[in-house]
Chain A
């Protein structure tokens, strides 16, 4: 058999049938469902009198609309409340498992999937959410879909798909201390652009990727969509197996042995052909900070805000001018001179226990700078929160002046009450710095958890390594 990529293997294992033009019916093993992109899909099923093909494959959780403050009195916003209640009604009617708002396992859908062992190596995983690419870190084929496709998967357990091209992102070398998966992700996006991965599935490989923890790989795969790639993935190794072992929905006993044996093949074969290869040396990387309104507008923390006049492409130059105007920044400003108003540590990109540990390590024994109006930590799930509290991280954050919140998507997209006011500038561990993403007129700078923590205590962006060394 010719050498195959990981993507080829995952694709092939899930093809139910294929049309002459290559369009395939692809079988879906796990369907994650949240409250924002599912109501119209369930309504469509009802209108057509259709049932759910395999309810046991779906796992639902409310995350986008949930409050991150005291939940004992439910959701104050009636529109948000209706959406969460609609999910509850739908899962009851169609017989789907849900972790409700009061469930200790509730959290961001892309945090709880791997945490529960509900997403596994070798699976096809979909969700009506673009950051579904996260689960590819386990050696799965995972990608975001729209609501019509959510309905399609509910009704048929399949999706109509065409095979993507495959891009290999090879990250060799040794990542310097305090340079994280987030920084690798931002550097990749800076190098290839937000449309660089369009039409591709993206596999991350190389020494620096092998060295990452599985949680770090999730951060990386999570951001592949910001490079335009619907799916990101990392081949299975010992770390993957150890990560999955013993999780609540992971196979046990003989099934576990069988699964592990099969997962051993979930990597690209030597000599497999990729449509495009991008190489990066992790040793050259610095912590990254975005300065504009697209994740590709990024620079190392030692850098400066670039000058649109130096950009030769006129469409790009216009985009840069517009971004700088929105961000309220002048060309040539050192990134380390930019002061922040708020700090957000959370989101499906960076709200796992290792993220919180890294941020706490920077914060410990320090105080949030007086010019920072709000610094908040939103754990990715109830279980991450509990673990962090068992390690005393909540105290570290609280004593420094951070708010310690309940799990959810929160200020990554500001569908709940957590948001930026117009003109406010935020150091955020989330994934999108689009105009208005964190609140209308809000200005987002994407960074790693350690860099966000450093910005909170310094009051402006700073190379976390300067803080960490003293």
Chain B
């Protein structure tokens, strides 16, 4: 996984609460069996005026000039400023892949939906929770000044504003550690394979019905 330490980038404001993962990446693109290539379809229904289907030439599609990502001043943004409950709804990790593929490295919001929050860390996308009043203030600052950039420092757990203000954010130590190092979760867990086996042996004695084999049951018990 891509490690995350410190990132400076242009901020794009998406001023709506409850942005769901269906909006982030609509269902027709979930038919892909790959992890890449979702960027052109990030926020597809909002971003384009014509209905999108997989395999279309995105260069030929009609962009919605009113949608914030399409405004020239926000082109190339890598930090998404959002409202409450960002990433709610479907568990599709494609939402995180689409944001990353588009170039977003940080999402700042007053709150995130649990599954999206969790998925972000697995891919090196940093979700930053700041108080609603602070986010509100950032929305005003971004709107007021073109080219508004923020620096997000995971090591120090701070967002630095162009005015030099440092906004502290909380993050669980274990998540922070893994993201800073870009560690592979599975490899980490497999270091504890013996403990997993020991758990299984104990559990098999306590709750043997949990160890019925589905395959064996299928082929005749």
Contacts and interface: CB of A to CB of B under 8 A. Distances in A.
Contacts of A316: 17
Contact of A259 (B34, B54, B209, B216): B209
Given A145-B115, A228-B114, A319-B18, A37 B92 contact: yes
Contacts of A213: none
Contact of A21 (B94, B172, B218): B172
B31 A65 contact: yes
Given A25-B195, A434-B22, A436-B26, A322 B16 contact: yes
Contact of A315 (B28, B32, B83): B83
Given A37-B92, A83-B31, A123-B210, A16 B192 contact: yes
Interface of A: 13, 16-17, 19, 21, 23, 25, 27, 29, 36-37, 39-40, 43, 48, 50, 53, 55-59, 64-65, 77, 79-80, 82-83, 86, 95, 97, 118, 120, 122-123, 128-130, 144-149, 151-152, 155-158, 160, 162, 194-195, 198-199, 228, 230, 248-249, 251, 255-256, 258-259, 262, 294, 315-316, 318-319, 322, 413-415, 422, 432, 434-437, 440
Contacts of B28: 415
Contacts of A80: 31
B23 A195 contact: no
B20 A432 contact: yes
Interface of B: 15-18, 20, 22-23, 26-28, 30-35, 45, 51, 54-55, 83-85, 88-94, 96, 111-115, 118-119, 122-123, 172-175, 185-186, 189-190, 192-193, 195-196, 199-200, 203, 207-210, 212-218
A142 to B, nearest CB: 13
Contacts of B208: 255, 258
A440 B203 CA distance: 48
Contact of B214 (A13, A249, A415): A249
B214 A156 contact: no
Closest 6 CB pairs of A and B: A148-B122, A146-B119, A146-B93, A39-B33, A251-B209, A195-B85
B186 A294 contact: no
A446 B23 CA distance: 18
B20 to A, nearest CB: 5
Contact of A249 (B15, B17, B212): B212
Contacts of A230: 114-115
22 contacts: A21-B172, A23-B174, A56-B214, A64-B30, A79-B31, A79-B32, A145-B118, A146-B119, A147-B119, A151-B186, A155-B186, A156-B196, A157-B196, A158-B189, A249-B214, A251-B209, A255-B208, A255-B209, A415-B28, A435-B22, A437-B27, A440-B51
Nearest to B31: A79
A198 B85 contact: yes
B22 to A, nearest CB: 5
Contacts of A194: 18, 85, 88
A29 B210 contact: yes
A434 B196 contact: no
A415 B30 contact: yes
A195 B18 contact: yes
Nearest to B116: A146
Contacts, number: 203
A114 to B, nearest CB: 15
Contacts of B192: 16-17, 25
Contacts of B185: 148, 152, 160
B210 to A, nearest CB: 5
Given A25-B195, A130-B89, A434-B22, A56 B17 contact: no
Contacts of A13: 207
B86 to A, nearest CB: 10
A262 B206 CA distance: 9
Contacts of A39: 33-34
Nearest to A21: B173
A318 B16 CA distance: 8
A440 B89 contact: no
Nearest to A82: B33
A435 B46 CA distance: 10
A33 B210 CA distance: 18
Contacts of B112: 198
A422 to B, nearest CB: 8
Given A199-B114, A413-B27, A228 B190 contact: no
